[in-house]
Every structure is written in structure tokens, then in C-alpha cells.
Structure 1
Amino acid sequence: MGVNAENKFPAIEFRSSDLKRGTDGWRNLCKKVQEACEKFGCFEVVYDTISTKVREESFGLMKELVEVPVERKQKNTSPMPYHGWVGPCEQVSLLYEGFGIGNASNYDSVKSFTQLMWPEGHPHFCDTIHTIGTQMEELNKLIWLMLIDSYGLGDDSLKLNYTTLVRMMKYMAPPPGEYERGLFAHTDKPVSTLICEDQVSGLEIEVNDGQWIKLTNLSPSSFVYVVGDPLRAWSNGRLKSVNHRVMMSGDKDRYSIAAFAIPNEGTIIKTPKELIDDQHPQLFKDFDFMEFFLFAFSNPARHIDNGELLHVFAGLSPPVSN
């Protein structure tokens, strides 16, 4: 499947020398991040501040995690959709297994999860996953700051009280010669997502012409940043919430760690007035994040195209292509 030059997936290097706010390097980074999020709704973040050692240890520990008995995995529960353990099933994928740790930058939250999986304790798992969860949360905050500055807004324009949900996911290799769904196509319902993967490709994004492109040859120090529906609403439709999926082929299992920004209950998603004008009329009403999140996984929402959920819930005008 050929990909034309216009659809070349953007890779943006976050050099430490460019991360000082207000410098020319910072302003240049902000512009690149804005353009990538407006055109693709995601981009590759080359960011070596999170060490290769922490990444490799995290994936090694995940391979221990998937081996714990099912009766322990089933204790990873949550009233929130996709916040707990999800085993292979028709609804998601027979190749998928995922675990959830809420508030992953809080050591006690990671410790509680660890004790469910290993009642005898596993300090190395606890320390490592807390470290990578905290560092991914900081990277997410940094990208939010770049988006704020790219639009010339004040810090308060995207000041959300939120926690980071870390999901650790395994996608099993399909039968030989098969090309099978590892995770269904969807836009993200949290504000934004950072994905760390183990060099086994599978993540695909949908570009404007309906073509799917597979993200391959990502740097070993890369993350993929994904704009969620609430960030699209906040930007008054400027940022794209990209449709993405996981498709599996070959003989290797795939492991990934995703950090989702989940606003606290009662958080209102609101478009800054600076992003509304005659050329950009307001597209979305202010809405309660948790009400939207729960609606997105409710029975009525199953009959709505995933990409239209935001418009159905909060749109002030007919849907526009995203």
C-alpha cells in the first residue's frame, strides 16, 4: 500500500536544548506539534529523556504480568470502562489483553495494583511502572503546553485536574499468514494519549482520504502522541482526533504501554474564547468530560459511528470531516 509524501507521518525530535519555553527552538517545536496535530491528529515524539532502560524493563515486567493466574487478573476491576483488565473477547479482539492502573503517577495506586497481581509483592514492578507512568504524564503536560503556546493562549486555557491511566496491552500474533484485528478502529475519548511500544509494529492511523497507514520504523526512544476527542472540542475543531486501530501480522506478540489523560469528575471541557471568531464559529458546547466518557461506552452509543460520537454528544452544528 503506497503512501504519498503528503501523508508521511511526522516525527518530531524533542531536543533538551529546545524545551526552554520562550526560545526560538521552543517556538519552532510548538509550530511543528500544532501542524502535526491539526493534519494527522498524532505524531511520533522522539524523546530520550525517558531512558531505554526504563522502557525495556517495563516491557520485560509486562511479560511477567500476563503470566499471572487469571483469577488475579480478574481483580483488576473498575467501574470506568476500559480501566480494568480486559481479556481476549469478540467485542475487542481475540488477540488483545489489557490491564489498567488508574492514577499511575501516584505510587500507592501502582502498589495497590501490584499487590493484586503479586500478593507476595513485586517492588521492581511497582517502582518501574510508577517511574514510566510519571514520566509519560510529564511528557503529556509538555505537549499540552506546546499546543497552548502555538495558539498564543494563556496557561489557564487548558488547565485540567486529571490523573493518568496507564494501560499495559498485549496483542498476540495471529495464525501464520493472517492479518487480523488487534484492536478495533476508534478515536480516543480521554483528552490525549501517549503510546510506548516495543518495536513490533501494528498501530495504524486513518488519513484524510480514508487510507490507513501503518506506523513502522519508529525510533527506539519514540512515543506516539494521539489527540483525543475532548482536545478536538477544546481547540474548536482545529486539532484532529484521529481514527486508529491495531492490525496484527507476523509471528511476534506486540506489547504497548499507553498513558491516557483522564480529567477528574466534574471537569468541564470548554473552548477558549480566543479560538472562536467569525471564521471559526463555536462547534461544540461546553460539556462534562465524565458524562461524555460514559456516554461513549454506553449502549446507545454503539449505534453511532465512533468518529461522530463527539458531535452527537456536544456538537452545535452538523458534523464536519475530521
Structure 2
Amino acid sequence: MDHIPTIDIAPLGDASHTDFNATVQAVMDACTRIGFLSITGTGVSRDTVNNMRTCVRAIFDIDDDAKWDQAITRENYRGFIPMGFFTPNDGSGKADKYEGYKLHYQVDLDAPIRRDCALYGPNIWPRHVPRAQAVILDYWSKLDGVAHMLLGALEMGLKLPANQLRDAFHEPMTNMSLLHYPPQAPDDTGYGIHPHKDTDALTIIAPDPVGGLEVQTRDGGWITPDCPPDGFVVNIGDMLELWSGGRLKSTPHRVVNRSGQERYSFPYFAVPRHDVVVEPLLTPLPGFDRPSVHCGHWSAEIWRTNWPDETAHDATPELGTLSD
């Protein structure tokens, strides 16, 4: 497949809909052939997305000193990510040209799950944008519903028992990154975000009007998703590829912002609960041989190896990293 299809997923909300099975098959075709699709019919209003985009701009419009007061730390990967802080997880290449704000599944400090996994906890909400928590959690809850619908379709398409995938997302490690990409010079050979595969199960993103997201085709070329203004871009991550035994495709993608404009993005990353072990639920396809992944350990390693002076080792899951 050399293009990214646009699919109206509204029929997935009603198993008796006349187009339900055809929509499941369309989603499966996209996820097995290129691993990306544009979706409409989500029930998420354009106002919800616009409110989110306005909020994200406001978060990055505050002065740098205020951002640094709420920066991520090694102990708590929540809050502001400085411009140029991250390079590919293998330590190669130039620093990525974005600043970010990291948010995770929200739980209270005294939540029982924190006794089992210390990675859970409350977010650091931008204090200079008082409305941010309400706006973001409203958007987040709506994307939880979209992810649930898509996971149900993939269960059916893969002929898995009902809820086998969805049950893994009770008290998940789902997270969001708020991202700001300044414009790159026309001759800049670097990236907003370097070529990579997502290490989660499923990513959902409202496309920014200025563009910049590029997806690698099977022949090595790069294409841009054609997504309607009221749609979302969805891609399969390494965890769903692993669960499916290689049938669903986790596809390399990158961001290059040569638009001359500021670019803002806020991807949603669906990640299972901390104690879930992701391994093939079906007989792997010939040649597909990947180790199982413990979600809590994986998340801790992603957290750790994002720091420039940390490196992966034998106990780090081999997910996501690509050479350019």
C-alpha cells in the first residue's frame, strides 16, 4: 500500500450496522498493509480538538523559566521537555527539534496501584494555564473511547476473543505528549522527530494544519497522511504488532517542519496496564521473532533511556529504535 486510506469508523459503534463488517475489514487492511489510517466518524467534535490545540499553544507560550520550573526529572517523567533534549534512544543522530510536555494516565498519590508500580502518579499540570487539566482530560477521555472502538475492531479482525485486547487497558499506562515544533530552515537536514516506530499499542493524533508528519512506505519512500480536518491519524505501535504475531504493521514515521510556521501536536499513546506481558496471541508469521514485553518494565526503560547519558542494555526491550 502506497497511500494511507481514510475510513469512516462510525459503523464500529453498532455491531448491527450494515457496514460494520466491511469497516472492520477496511481497518484490518490498513493495519496489516501499512499500519496507518485516517479516521472520521469518531464522535469527537472539531470544537474539542480546537480547544485542545489552543490549550497546547498556551502551554508553550509561557516563558522558559516557568517551563523549567515544571520540567521532567529522572524520578518523574512528567512535565516540560526542553527543546533539543532528546536524541534517538540509541544515542545516535542529532537532537530532535521540538519542545514537549509529558502527561501520563492520571492517578492520585495514594492510589492503590502505586503500591504495585511506582511509575503511576499524578501529572504536573501547567500552572500558568489553569484550564489545561480540564481541557486535556476531556480530550483524553474521548480518545479513550476511540481507542476502545478500534481495539474491538482489531479483536474481531484478528479473530481474537472479545475484549482480549481491551481488557489489557484497565488502569493503563497510556500517555500523551504535547509537542511544539519551531520551523526548520529549508536546508536543515535534521528532524522535528527522527524516524522511529511507536513503542505503544496504538497512537491517535489530530493532524496539525501545517503538516510535517511523514510515513515510510514498504519501498522506502515517504508519504504524508491525507487526513480530513475533522479526522484523526491512527497508527499501529510495536505492541500490537507483537500481539498479532507480526500481522499488524508498526511503521516508521518522522516529523519534518519546513512549513515556515510553528507546528503543534498532541499524540495519544495507548499502552496497556503495568503488569501486562505482551506476547503473540496468534502463531507468529514466518520470520517474525520478537521477545515478549512486560509493560511496566518497558515503560521504565523508555523513561530511563530517553536521558542523553543513558544507554540501552540487554534487559531493554528492542522496540521502536531505528537507524536513519
Smaller-chain TM-score bracket:
0.7 to 0.9
- Is residue 11 of structure 1 aligned with residue 41 of structure 2? no
Q: TM-score scaled to structure 1, two decimals?
A: 0.80
- Is residue 205 of structure 1 aligned with residue 228 of structure 2? no
- Is residue 225 of structure 1 aligned with residue 250 of structure 2? no
Code of the residue aligned with 1:47 in structure 2: it is: G
Distance in structure 2 (CA, Å) of the matches to 1:276 and 1:269: 14
Distance 1:94 1:154, change over 3 A: closer
Q: Tell me which of 30, 43, 47 is aligned to 1:36.
A: 30
- Is residue 254 of structure 1 aligned with residue 263 of structure 2? yes
User: Which runs of 5 or more residues in structure 2 are unaligned?
Assistant: 88-94, 112-119
Paired residue for 1:135?
A: 142
Distance 1:212 1:83, change over 3 A: farther
CA positional deviation for 1:81:
8.9
* 1:1-322 alignment runs, 5 A limit: 6-15=1-10, 17-74=11-68, 75-77=70-72, 79=74, 83-89=78-84, 91-92=86-87, 93=95, 95-103=97-105, 113-114=124-125, 116-118=126-128, 122-123=130-131, 125-158=132-165, 159-160=167-168, 161=170, 162-175=172-185, 180-215=190-225, 217-272=226-281, 275-276=282-283, 283-295=289-301, 298=305, 299-301=310-312, 309-310=318-319
CA positional deviation for 1:19:
2.4
| Higher RCO, Cα 8 Å, sep 6+ | 2
Distance in structure 2 (CA, Å) of the matches to 1:196 and 1:157: 27
Distance in structure 1 (CA, Å) of the matches to 2:228 and 2:278: 33
Instruction: Name the count of aligned residue pairs.
Output: 294
Distance 1:186 1:81, change over 3 A: farther
Is the Cα contact below 8 Å between 2:275 and 2:294 reproduced in 1? yes
Distance in structure 1 (CA, Å) of the matches to 2:221 and 2:76: 29
CA positional deviation for 1:300:
4.3
Distance 1:66 1:182, change over 3 A: same
Is the Cα contact below 8 Å between 1:284 and 1:311 reproduced in 2? no
Distance 1:193 1:78, change over 3 A: farther
CA positional deviation for 1:214:
2.2
CA positional deviation for 1:42:
1.3
Code of the residue aligned with 1:172 in structure 2: it is: P
Is the Cα contact below 8 Å between 1:19 and 1:25 reproduced in 2? no
Secondary structure of 1:301's aligned partner: coil
Distance in structure 1 (CA, Å) of the matches to 2:286 and 2:189: 42
Q: For 1:139-164, what per-residue CA distance to the aligned partner results, in whole angstroms no more than 9, with x for missing partners?
A: 11111110001122112421213143
Is the Cα contact below 8 Å between 2:12 and 2:153 reproduced in 1? no
Secondary structure of 2:80's aligned partner: coil
Greater fraction helix: 1
**More displaced 10-residue stretch of structure 1: 171-180 or 137-146:** 171-180
Distance in structure 2 (CA, Å) of the matches to 1:210 and 1:79: 36
Distance in structure 2 (CA, Å) of the matches to 1:154 and 1:130: 30
**More displaced 10-residue stretch of structure 1: 97-106 or 293-302:** 293-302
Distance in structure 2 (CA, Å) of the matches to 1:285 and 1:89: 31
Is the Cα contact below 8 Å between 2:106 and 2:123 reproduced in 1? no
Q: TM-score scaled to structure 2, two decimals?
A: 0.79
Distance in structure 1 (CA, Å) of the matches to 2:203 and 2:75: 17
Is the Cα contact below 8 Å between 2:198 and 2:320 reproduced in 1? no
Greater fraction strand: 1
Q: For 1:75-129, what per-residue CA distance to the aligned partner results, in whole angstroms no more than 9, with x for missing partners?
A: 14254896542221164445301111211599x9999533x432xx713x32221
User: Which runs of 5 or more residues in structure 1 are unaligned?
Assistant: 1-5, 313-322
Structure 1 outlier segments of 4+, above 6 Å: 108-111
Distance in structure 2 (CA, Å) of the matches to 1:230 and 1:176: 35
Distance in structure 1 (CA, Å) of the matches to 2:77 and 2:123: 18
Secondary structure of 1:224's aligned partner: strand
CA positional deviation for 1:230:
1.0
Code of the residue aligned with 1:61 in structure 2: it is: C
Is the Cα contact below 8 Å between 1:99 and 1:168 reproduced in 2? yes
Secondary structure of 2:209's aligned partner: coil
Q: For 1:54-76, what per-residue CA distance to the aligned partner results, in whole angstroms no more than 9, with x for missing partners?
A: 11111111111102233332314
CA positional deviation for 1:208:
0.7
Q: For 1:292-314, what per-residue CA distance to the aligned partner results, in whole angstroms no more than 9, with x for missing partners?
A: 344456344399xxxx92499xx
